Amino acid sequence: MKISDVLTLALTDCHLSGRSKKRVLENISKLLSTQLGGGSEQSEILFDNFVARERLGSTGIGKGVAIPHCRTLGVKRIYGCLTKLAAPVDFDAVDDQPVDLVFALVVPEEKNDEHLSTLARIATIMQDDHSRQLLRQCNSHQQLFDTMIELERTKKP
């Protein structure tokens, strides 16, 4: 599944706040729940699912990037949320470096193949030094969104 199929401008935040991994996941959960049409209850469910996934192992893949993801009942399609953090946070990443770029995914229980292919596309872009540099230079939600879509168009996993 393509990033452009799961990411919208409304789910792109160029200055997401959060002083800790949990606060960042909480803020991402709130952003996602508003776009999914849910309220605080759905936000709490998403947050709990993200935290449960992090307990299995950090989704901080290194070089300042994290790709938190979780399966959630009642979701009909995959949703992506791209954020550039206002300040880097400790995410227990594999290289022990703080994270400032986060691409979160919420996936329906039954979408395993699509989940894996979407993760692969995101990882391909985020593991590239030039791509990360371009994303970090963005100063608006629109610019961050457009840059990610353009990077996907030019980089094939």
- CB–CB of 85/121 below 8 Å? no
| E-state strands within 2-119 | 12-16, 60-62, 65-66, 69-71, 79-89, 99-107
By DSSP bridging, strand 99-107 and strand 65-66 are: parallel
**What is the tally of helices (H) and strands (E) in the chain?**
6, 6
> For residue 155, what pLDDT is reported?
72
Residue 110's pLDDT is what?
76
Task: Kindly report, residue by residue over 34-80, the tens digit of the pLDDT.
Answer: 888 877 888 999 999 999 999 999 999 999 999 999 988 888 889 99
Half-sphere exposure of 153 (CA within 13 A, CB side): 7
Q: Is the pLDDT confidence value at 153 over 80? A: yes
Distance CA 80, CA 78 (A): 7
pLDDT tens for residues 68-98?
Answer: 999 888 888 899 999 999 999 999 999 999 9
Selecting among 69, 115, 130, 141, the annotated active-site residue is: 69
Instruction: Give the structural domain span for 72.
Output: 3-154
In the annotation, is 141 catalytic? Answer: no
Closest Cα to residue 144, out of 92, 95, 93, 82?
82
Cα–Cα distance for residue pair 36/53, rounded to 1 Å: 20
CATH number at residue 58: 3.40.930.10
Question: What is the tally of structural domains in the chain?
Answer: 1
